[in-house]
Amino acid sequence: MLATVFADISLAQLGLIAVIAVLASIVGGVAGYGTGALMPLVLVPIVGAEPVVPIIALSSLLTNSSRAIAFLPQVDVRRTLIVLVFAIPTCIVGAYGYSLLTGKGAQIVIGTMMLLSVPLRRISRKRGYTLSDKGLAVSSVGWGVVVGGTSGAGIILLSMLMAAGVQGAAVIATDAAISIVIGIVKLAVFGVAGIVTPKVIAVALLIGLVAFPGAFIARRLVKNLSLAAHTAILDAVVMFGGAAMLLGALR
């Protein structure tokens, strides 16, 4: 059965996916983002662009579950509910729109999102934007569309939560709690649209299972590790990956 599902993926490629999944999980646990931004760099060349968002949506249920468990006491319940109430309806719209894309269209959407995510996060941090509960609700409406149809939108959610006053480990915990529910919503839409294939499920389970311990490693690192160098490296990787994806689509 597995041999049939992975017929066009070599053992070396599966190993590469597993290694990047572990690293991305640790990065995501330390910084609050990175998993959805890094995994497309290895997934698109191996499985193509179309299955990437469904794969990450399913695998994130496991990776975010481990992160939520590791940081459970820090979850900001009130802001979690605000984001979910206003993001879920538009997330459904975004996910359905993604299901209609061709392979080239999917590459353009994912690549553009990756390129925009870095400057948007830096601008919001530099200008010191703050969000009231009402502002968080309005922002969640727009974020729902983006997260429904792309991967890597966690960077935007991270900025929204920080602007709303969520700090430290609570950002990581709250982001994980929100992402679990959003992942379930996306999977439901993708399932109805028929793009959750056996290969999508198998690759997603591989990523989720090997990455599960990453959050607990990150919990140890988060207290002592400076994020300055890590953030600069991750931003460079995300920008390079987004540009490469756009160039591939335009060719």
Q: Is the pLDDT confidence value at 32 over 60?
A: no
* 79 to 48, 76, 85: CA distances (angstroms): 35, 6, 10
Q: What is the pLDDT of residues 229-250, one digit of tens each?
A: 656 655 666 677 667 667 766 7
Q: Is the pLDDT confidence value at 227 over 60?
A: no
Q: How confident is the model at residue 219 (pLDDT cuts 50, 70, 90)?
A: low
- Specify the range with the lowest mean pLDDT, choosing from 62-76, 203-217, 235-249: 235-249
78 vs 103, higher pLDDT: 78
Beta-carbon contacts of residue 216 (< 8 Å; ≥ 6 apart): 29, 66, 70
Overall average pLDDT of the 126-130 stretch: 70
Structure tokens at 156: 């935007």
- The CA distance from 200 to 109, in Å, is 19
- Specify the range with the lowest mean pLDDT, choosing from 18-27, 86-95, 107-116: 107-116
Overall average pLDDT of the 200-204 stretch: 86
Q: Is the pLDDT confidence value at 101 over 70?
A: no
- Specify the range with the lowest mean pLDDT, choosing from 66-80, 82-96, 200-214: 200-214
pLDDT of residue 1: 53
